[in-house]
Structure 1
Amino acid sequence: MNILDATISRPRILGILCAISAVLLGIAYMAIAGAPMRYPGVNVGALCIGLAILALPDFIIAAGQRWTDGANIAMAGALLVTALLGVEVDGAARWVFLGGLAIQPSLILMPVMLVAFSRNRSVLATTSIVTAAVAMALQPDRAMAGMLTLCLGALAVMRPDRHVGVALAASVTSFAATLVRADTLPAVPFVDQILYSSFNVHAVAGLAVLCGMALLLVPAIIGWNRDGTDRTIYVAFGAVWFAAILAAALGNYPTPVVGYGGSAIIGYVLSLLALPRLSDAHAGPAGSSCGTMNGPPSNTHLFIALG
């Protein structure tokens, strides 16, 4: 029970467990559905890459506002370059090829940008979100433009300010632009529409997909209930991944984490970086010995126990 309580009180650790479990459920679905052998390997490799980045020392991740703003601008620039120079399929330029694999930068970068924006709002952060909105309109990517709109709309309700207002206006415009242009991309096996096709394979495969997608929202739900101080962050995290799930259910868009493809897996793990290290419920005097939300708590003992 102490391990369970310590895990729940650390949103990043909880998110890691949810990510690992969702990837394993996705592999179970692919095994039942007869996916090519390399598909599970790609997903596991993406999970390892994401966890390796997440394991960066805390002083690098918390290097300050200047580092955060610079990272946001760099990520927004990468999305814009993808829209202008990325691989185009049926009029959509959403991908880059690395080592023979198709990578969707928006699924990797957009979630962490939005969750980070919920924590730190500045002129440069707002500029990066507006640039990302322009990139989604140019690609076009209706699913990611919808993610922008849903997340920023939730932030506008929770904690409105001029930065959110400007970013929301840009995201709504971007989403409207994607609605004007037809999205004719067909469904890709083991990637799109698997929420429905998995049940045609076997009920167990369908349940694996459903449970895997539900796990993605667990850190947001538990964080909302346990950490009243940082609810805005958990709302942003939940809105981002709910939007990804909703897009996968409504159109031919990648099913996050449980479907084949490493972009959403890396994106999910990276978005955990923007969550508090320790929930507010354990950040008081009782939790001072192992760190506060703003300080780097030692999780070594917890990792060993979980291992």
Structure 2
Amino acid sequence: MAIAGAPMRYIGINVGALAIGLTMLALLERTVAAGQRWTDGAITAMAGALLATAFLGSEVDGAARWVSFGGLAIQPSLILLPVMLIAFSRSRSVLATAGIIAAAAAMALQPDRAMAGMLVLCLAALAVIRRDMLAAVALAAGVTGFAATLARADTLPAVPYVDQILYSSFDVHVGAGLAVLGGMAMLLIPAIVGWSQDNNNCATYAAFGAAWFAAIMAAALGNYPTPIVGYGGSAIIGYALSLLALPKLSRVRAGAVCRRSGAKDGSPSDRRLFVALA
């Protein structure tokens, strides 16, 4: 962004969003670990927030995807939908499925083709890995919502430093373009590493990878925000929150060691998570 001449305010907002995301990750990690039974309620509450955005959010050219806070436009779907989908992969229930269906309806109403595509790709991955009725119902709702977004024209123009970054960065400098491609690839590392080292949670890592791969493809194919490497704090905070929904590799390994040694399961620190994130 700096090489491309983006305003320093944009870079400052991204850095601030990263600080907020890391802070939320640190503060919420212990709460989430101690209260998995609240996952269904959290998914439902986030779905309600997405529906509220569709009806009450700031509208631009017929699309209501944003909420304004102090002059900043926040896109709730980029913050909430990835963590919803990853949480759904770990704890599927009737209530959680209803939340995902509501989210699909919200994406159709906003409309947000990119996020609807994320929902479909993620649920398709889950349906392939874990074949059950709830996953199939959620996928059907997602496909319906995505079809609704395709039926409506998306006329929003590209925003500088936000959309089409995968192409405009190479127009500025080849180094900037390679940095963008490298940044995109790094977003998928947690899914690749987790898939290879934690066979018990393959569905969760597949959901994570599918969600962020869909965001990357949407940015490549249309005028949609380029996650992390483009201007916009919503994707940065959403990425940090989606890490929160992943199993901690340190816990997986420590639990295995404890079981082999006959010791009680403990709660090792998550320093490896933050090292990986850095």
Once the two structures are TM-superposed, the CA of residue 54 in structure 1 deviates from its matched residue by 0.5
Partner of 1:156: 127
Return the alpha-carbon distance in structure 2 between the equivalents of residues 300 and 257 of structure 1: 22
For the structure 1 residues 189 and 125, does the alpha-carbon distance in structure 2 shift closer, same or farther, using more than 3 Å as the test? same
Partner of 2:40: 69
For the structure 1 residues 301 and 253, does the alpha-carbon distance in structure 2 shift closer, same or farther, using more than 3 Å as the test? closer
For the structure 1 residues 68 and 89, does the alpha-carbon distance in structure 2 shift closer, same or farther, using more than 3 Å as the test? same
Partner of 2:177: 206
Return the alpha-carbon distance in structure 1 between the equivalents of residues 134 and 245 of structure 2: 18
Return the alpha-carbon distance in structure 2 between the equivalents of residues 155 and 299 of structure 1: 26
| TM-score, L = length of structure 1 | 0.84
**How do 1:119-138 residues align onto structure 2 when only pairs under 5 Å count?**
119-138=90-109
Is this contact kept in 1: 2:254–2:268, CA < 8 A? no
Q: Deviations over 1:263-287 (max 9, x none)?
A: 0000000000111112645642179
Task: Verify: 1:284 aligned to 2:256, yes or no.
Answer: yes
Return the alpha-carbon distance in structure 1 between the equivalents of residues 221 and 142 of structure 2: 19
Partner of 2:240: 269
Is this contact kept in 1: 2:21–2:236, CA < 8 A? yes
Secondary structure of the residue aligned to 2:176 is helix
Q: State the AA in 2 paired with 1:221.
A: I
Task: Verify: 1:147 aligned to 2:115, yes or no.
Answer: no
Return the alpha-carbon distance in structure 1 between the equivalents of residues 221 and 132 of structure 2: 31
For the structure 1 residues 58 and 241, does the alpha-carbon distance in structure 2 shift closer, same or farther, using more than 3 Å as the test? closer
The match for 1:230 among 201, 209, 222 is 201
Partner of 1:15: none
The match for 2:268 among 278, 286, 297 is 297
Q: Deviations over 1:137-167 (max 9, x none)?
A: 0000000000000000000000111111111
The match for 1:50 among 11, 14, 21 is 21
Once the two structures are TM-superposed, the CA of residue 124 in structure 1 deviates from its matched residue by 1.1
**How do 1:67-216 residues align onto structure 2 when only pairs under 5 Å count?**
67-216=38-187
- The percent identity for this pair of structures is 72
**How do 1:241-256 residues align onto structure 2 when only pairs under 5 Å count?**
241-256=212-227
Is this contact kept in 1: 2:64–2:110, CA < 8 A? yes
Secondary structure of the residue aligned to 2:52 is helix
Return the alpha-carbon distance in structure 2 between the equivalents of residues 57 and 88 of structure 1: 31
**How do 1:17-28 residues align onto structure 2 when only pairs under 5 Å count?**
none
Q: State the AA in 2 paired with 1:253.
A: Y
Deviates more, 1:48-57 or 1:260-269: 48-57
Q: Deviations over 1:7-36 (max 9, x none)?
A: xxxxxxxxxxxxxxxxxxxxxxx1100001
Is this contact kept in 1: 2:255–2:266, CA < 8 A? no
For the structure 1 residues 295 and 210, does the alpha-carbon distance in structure 2 shift closer, same or farther, using more than 3 Å as the test? farther
Partner of 1:14: none
Partner of 1:26: none
Q: Provide structure 2 residue ranges, at least 5 long, that are not aligned to the other structure.
A: none
Is this contact kept in 1: 2:194–2:249, CA < 8 A? no
Partner of 1:16: none
Partner of 1:220: 191
Secondary structure of the residue aligned to 1:88 is strand
Return the alpha-carbon distance in structure 2 between the equivalents of residues 118 and 295 of structure 1: 24
For the structure 1 residues 271 and 57, does the alpha-carbon distance in structure 2 shift closer, same or farther, using more than 3 Å as the test? closer
Aligned-pair Cα RMSD in Å: 2.3
Return the alpha-carbon distance in structure 2 between the equivalents of residues 59 and 52 of structure 1: 12
Q: State the AA in 1 paired with 2:164.
A: Q
Return the alpha-carbon distance in structure 2 between the equivalents of residues 296 and 42 of structure 1: 34
Secondary structure of the residue aligned to 1:256 is coil
Return the alpha-carbon distance in structure 2 between the equivalents of residues 61 and 282 of structure 1: 19
